[in-house]
Structure 1
Amino acid sequence: MSVAEFRRIVLFRHAKADWPQVTDHERPLADRGRKDAAVAGLKLADSGIDFDLALCSTAVRTRETWKIAVSEFAHRPKTAYEERIYEASPGELIALLNETPDDVHNLLLVGHNPGVQNLADILAGSAEGDARQRMSARGYPAAAFAVLTFEGSWKTLEPGVATLVDYWAPSD
């Protein structure tokens, strides 16, 4: 019998998008979104998490958010652009995460609300310090991220098994 392995998931909502006359999927970042994506990238880089994999929605605003944020990292993780993240429910996101190879220990998902916020709420059976209170008070604004941990394989990820260990959102 193997020892359960420690895993970390960061659920990162795309930065603030603009509203030009394009389809929702093609919406780019607003000026503030580009600024907040860079600040979030710095916060993630300062976290000391060495990401093995980033899963990013194919929407323009998520791809732009990730491109800006990852430029702040010392090491760029492997990135997979996944169309199933766009408009996904928490259940669909869990099913996607369940497919993650077990050699991935630190995963970052760049997605959309309400899916990302609901996923953080559903996965977090417990929380450290005031992370849950901060997340509840702020909601999940654009460019916010939650850090969750759990033990086991990705196939065992399900509601309530994770611990919310940190939460960050840009200041207004």
Structure 2
Amino acid sequence: MFNKKDLQLSEVLVATITSDIFNAINVTSEDAAAEIFEQLCRLFEPLENLPMLHSKFLNSKLEYGKDAYAFYFDLKELFKKLEKSGVTIGKQAQKAKAIQSLPDQLRQMKFQLSQETSKEVSFKDLMGCIIDRYKNYVAVFPPDSATSNNQNIRFLGLCTKLQ
């Protein structure tokens, strides 16, 4: 399919990319394979600047019915990235963000968690508690029924205000 000219061009491109990668990660015979792999992965990660991380932090919110464990794992990773960028987020602020990130359908749970959370509770324990309660709530009120119930509650609220 390729003519000889295309093949030569692809060989040059591969050689250039390979040399760029290995020059960038500075591979020696003393490096462990895991370190080399980690350095390679860092080369291909999208660069995230502070405003982008800050925006992700402010806009992070768990969608009702989605996997809470994955969401809170990503939120914890976001905290780590912000710390690497020089932004320090206190433990209480991390806990508050974890609670605020719950879906709007769970206002009562947000309130209860904010009342129950003390300074002694670790972020890890709080995440475990949130995930367990969230899973139980979603099991009782699956996403489709919760949104229709929420809409009915809003509709009833509008009717009482109008009367």
User: What TM-score does the superposition give when structure 1 sets the normalisation length?
Assistant: 0.24
Structure showing greater relative contact order (alpha-carbon pairs closer than 8 Å, 6 or more residues apart): 1
Q: Considering fraction of residues, name the structure with more strand.
A: 1
User: What TM-score does the superposition give when structure 2 sets the normalisation length?
Assistant: 0.25
Q: Considering fraction of residues, name the structure with more helix.
A: 2
